[in-house]
Amino acid sequence: MLNIVIFGAPGSGKGTQSERIVEKYGINHISTGDVLRAEIKNGTELGKTAKGYIDQGQLIPDELMIDILASVFDGFKDSKGVIFDGFPRTIAQAEALKKMLAERGQDVSVMLDLEVPEDELMTRLIKRGKDSGRADDNEETIKKRLTVYHSQTAPLIDWYKGEKKYQHINGLGTMDGIFADICKVVDSI
């Protein structure tokens, strides 16, 4: 079973690299950002709640987010493994994920931390906002997302080091080059 947590600041390439990992290793992909955006698009109650947080660059509260993740994960019972993209984002979420996997006799195989300098993150997200119109890709909200990342999400780096699952990946360079580095790590586990 291959359970990968793909980690990094907003714009670090989690979604981009997840697509490649899914294709090569045949595992399932759970992107919590995509799940929430689909709820917003469908105009559900959950979507309305999520939009308030996302537009402010804030995290959806843990209790709600953990329930959402659990229900999506429930749909992947016969899977070869899952790549978790955008989850966990807090220590409480990491503990919940560990428990969810343990209930199936599993654990996180590896946590891949895509590290990218902040000016590059800003450049990528401003460009994507212009191309795709994603509502939270404007300078003001990106700055808030980065602040939230540093205060609430980055502590997971030490948490996963403690779990002996942490792997650093240089997220600056070509998409192919970064993917090759990821494959070296994944193939070694």
Residues identified as active-site: 14, 89, 128, 134, 145
Q: Write phi, then psi, for 45 (nearest 5 degrees).
A: -60, -45
List the x/- string, 76-95, binding to ligand AP5 by CB under 6 A.
----------xx-x---x--
- The whole-angstrom distance between residue 176's C-alpha and the CA centroid of its chain comes to 19
33 marked ligand binding residue: no
Query: Does 10 engage in binding with ligand AP5 (CB under 6 A)?
Result: yes
CB 111 within 8 A of CB 160: yes
177 marked ligand binding residue: no
Q: Single out the residue of 59, 82, 97, 186 in contact with ligand AP5 (rule: CB under 6 A).
A: 59
Q: Which of 4, 8, 9, 19 is nearest to 175 (CA)?
A: 19
Q: Which segment (11-19, 71-79, 102-110, 154-162) binds ligand AP5 by CB under 6 A?
A: 11-19
Alpha helices in the chain (DSSP H): 14-25, 32-41, 45-55, 62-74, 91-102, 118-132, 139-148, 156-162, 175-187
132/153 Cα distance (integer angstroms): 25
Give the nearest distance from C-beta 170 to ligand AP5 in angstroms. Answer: 10
Known binding-site residue numbers for AMP = 32, 37, 58-60, 86-89, 93, 134, 145
Binding site for ligand AP5 (CB under 6 A): 8, 10-16, 32-33, 36, 53-54, 57-60, 65, 86-87, 89, 93, 124, 128, 136, 145, 175, 178
